[in-house]
Amino acid sequence: MKPLGKNSSELVVMDNNNENNMSTNFHPDDLDQDGKVTRNELEARSKLERSTAQMKIAIAALTAMVTTMAVLLTPLISDERIRSLSSVFDMYFLACASIVGAYMGFSAWMTKR
CB of 65 closer than 8 Å to CB of 97: yes
Nearer to Ca ion, 32 or 90 (CB): 32
Nearer to Ca ion, 34 or 90 (CB): 34
- In the chain the first and final C-alpha atoms are separated, in Å, by 33
- Residue 8 carries which side chain, given as an amino acid letter? S
Q: What is the DSSP letter of 79?
A: H
Alpha carbon distance 35, 15 (integer Å):
9
Nearer to Ca ion, 36 or 50 (CB): 36
Closest distance of CB 8 from Ca ion, Å: 14
Closest distance of CB 51 from Ca ion, Å: 21
Please report, as residue ranges, which positions from 45 to 104 form the binding site for Ca ion (by CB under 5 A).
Answer: none
Alpha carbon distance 55, 76 (integer Å):
31
H/E stretch holding 38: strand 36-38
Binding mask 8-37 for Ca ion (x = CB under 5 A): ----------------------x-x-x-x-
Say whether residue 43 binds Ca ion (CB under 5 A).
Answer: no
- Residues found near Ca ion in the complex (CB under 5 A): 30, 32, 34, 36
